[in-house]
């Protein structure tokens, strides 16, 4: 049977999709990219915030149209299904099978039972599956080191969907990393809901620094980066590991969410305005070429104009290299759902727009400071008009951050590393030449 996959949401979801594709391949199913060819379509859904839920439902309905043609089975799995399985079964009968995240250990049995009844489950626990079909190209791969979250931020449904923090054993992570480099992947991106809490549940202390040291011992790895580093668990050990090991990219992705103590407390965040400011100053002092990315939320219930202005002023001063913003989404089942002082949608939109306009100016200013400097760049592609190669440096997480365009003055191989001198910029990307 020919099977097509659609993966929605975060890179942690993508890893689950890649494991599922591998399960199908192991059972001799043919994987296709065109839904018109697929006899079965599997959609891995996101259910984090309202916009993600709408995207997932629209995708399911769009794929349901193919059941009128070649497709025989439509399957939906993932976070949206975990939250709303019963409602989805009633409202979208075109879907033949809904698989909750919490039942992934019997995922293959459920698939087989859909097609052939009375199949015995022989699947390993899902978290122990290391075979994956990498869908991100040939340069980099995500490596999930933990799932779930125990932080219990009042706006977030992740603990309700995926449970509390569940770290993987370090040996299992190292084994998977070695398998990835055997397949030719030389950039490893560690991901979890909170990477800096890795190990707290099974080793009784944060172990990300120790994990990074062991990964750096794998000779074939060129770059290692980690995402979603919560500010309160960025330790001196972690900073030192980054300073001492050239394979660890000088890049921190720190979702601060806000700077106002009033808002942070209502969010049940573990950091405060002072600790965040101190951390940013410390990182820039200890690692002068560090790239800082953050995420902020506007319109959280009770956010006053004064709170927003404090955030805006802080972002003006902090000048983050990369920044993502989003408006608060009222999610049922979270403590913030019942909070008073919900913010009007128009106010949220206005505040979001102001933050993004500010960051556009800051981003360009930060990039202009790179003009004249030389960076090691990994070549990943070429523009349609062949005028520029497209690459990334340690400063850029794939699919999230900008890229570097390199003038095509000599033939380069894909995945080749070259030195690039920056000559000019646009709002979010750098443009340069090959340095001889």
pLDDT digits (tens, 9 = 90+) for 4-52: 999 999 999 999 999 999 999 999 999 999 999 999 999 999 988 888 9
Helices 273-286/305-318 angle, 10° precision: 10
Structural element, H or E, at residue 420: strand 417-425
d(CA 232, CA 129) in angstroms, rounded, equals: 31
Q: Mind listing the domains of the chain with CATH numbers?
A: 2-127 (3.40.50.12160), 128-368 (3.80.30.20), 374-434 (2.40.50.140)
CA distances 106 to 47, 230, 250, Å, are 21, 32, 40
Q: Is the CB of residue 37 less than 8 Å from the CB of residue 67?
A: no
> What do you get for the CA distance between the two ends of the chain, in Å?
52
Which pLDDT belongs to residue 117? Answer: 64
Q: What does the pLDDT look like over 156-190, one tens digit per residue?
A: 999 989 999 999 999 999 999 999 999 999 999 99
Distance CA 257, CA 267 (A): 9
Q: Over the Cα atoms of the chain, what is R_g? A: 22
Mean predicted lDDT score pLDDT of the chain: 94
**SS3 of 282, please?**
helix
Alpha helices in 48-135 (DSSP H): 50-64, 79-91, 107-115
d(CA 368, CA 362): 10
pTM score of the predicted model:
0.89
What's the pLDDT band for 406 if we cut at 50, 70, 90? Answer: very high
Distance separating alpha carbons of residues 260 and 257, to the nearest angstrom: 10
């Amino acid at each position: 049977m020919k099977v097509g996959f659609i993966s929605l949401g975060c890179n942690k979801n993508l890893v689950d999709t890649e494991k599922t594709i591998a399960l199908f391949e192991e059972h001799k199913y043919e994987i296709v990219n065109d839904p018109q060819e697929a006899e079965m379509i599997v959609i891995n859904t996101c259910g984090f915030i309202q916009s993600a839920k709408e995207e997932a439902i629209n995708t399911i309905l769009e794929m349901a149209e193919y059941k009128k043609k070649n497709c025989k089975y439509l399957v939906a799995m993932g976070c949206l299904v975990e939250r709303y399985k019963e409602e989805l079964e009633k409202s979208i009968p075109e879907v033949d099978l809904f698989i909750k995240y919490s039942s992934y250990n019997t995922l293959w049995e459920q698939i087989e039972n859909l097609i052939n009844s009375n199949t015995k489950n022989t699947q390993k626990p899902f978290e122990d599956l290391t075979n994956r079909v990498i869908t991100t190209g040939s340069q980099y791969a995500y490596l999930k080191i933990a799932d779930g979250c125990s932080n219990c931020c009042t706006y977030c449904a992740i603990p309700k969907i995926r449970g509390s923090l569940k770290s993987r054993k370090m040996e299992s992570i190292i084994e998977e990393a070695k398998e990835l480099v055997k397949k030719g992947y030389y950039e490893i991106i560690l991901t979890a809901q909170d990477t800096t809490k890795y190990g707290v549940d099974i080793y009784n202390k944060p172990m990300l620094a120790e994990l990074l040291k062991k990964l750096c011992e794998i000779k074939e790895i060129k770059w290692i980066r980690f995402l979603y580093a919560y500010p309160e668990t960025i330790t001196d050990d972690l900073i030192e590991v980054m300073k001492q090991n050239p394979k660890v990219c000088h890049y921190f992705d720190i979702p601060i969410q806000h700077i106002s103590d009033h808002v942070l407390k209502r969010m049940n965040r573990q950091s405060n305005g002072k600790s965040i400011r101190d951390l940013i100053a410390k990182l820039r002092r200890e690692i002068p070429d560090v790239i800082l990315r953050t995420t902020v939320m506007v319109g959280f219930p009770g956010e006053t104009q004064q709170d927003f202005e404090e955030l805006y002023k802080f972002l003006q001063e902090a000048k983050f290299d990369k920044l993502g913003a989003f408006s608060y989404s009222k999610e049922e089942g979270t403590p913030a759902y019942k909070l008073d002082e919900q913010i009007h949608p128009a106010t949220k939109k206005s505040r979001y727009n102001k933050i993004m306009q500010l960051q556009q100016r800051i981003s360009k200013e930060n990039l202009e400071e790179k003009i004249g400097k030389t960076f090691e760049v990994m070549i990943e592609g070429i523009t349609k008009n062949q005028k520029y190669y497209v690459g990334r440096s340690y400063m850029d997480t794939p699919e999230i951050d900008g890229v570097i365009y390199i003038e095509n003055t000599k033939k380069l191989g894909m995945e080749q590393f070259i030195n690039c001198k920056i000559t000019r910029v646009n709002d979010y990307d750098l443009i340069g030449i090959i340095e001889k």
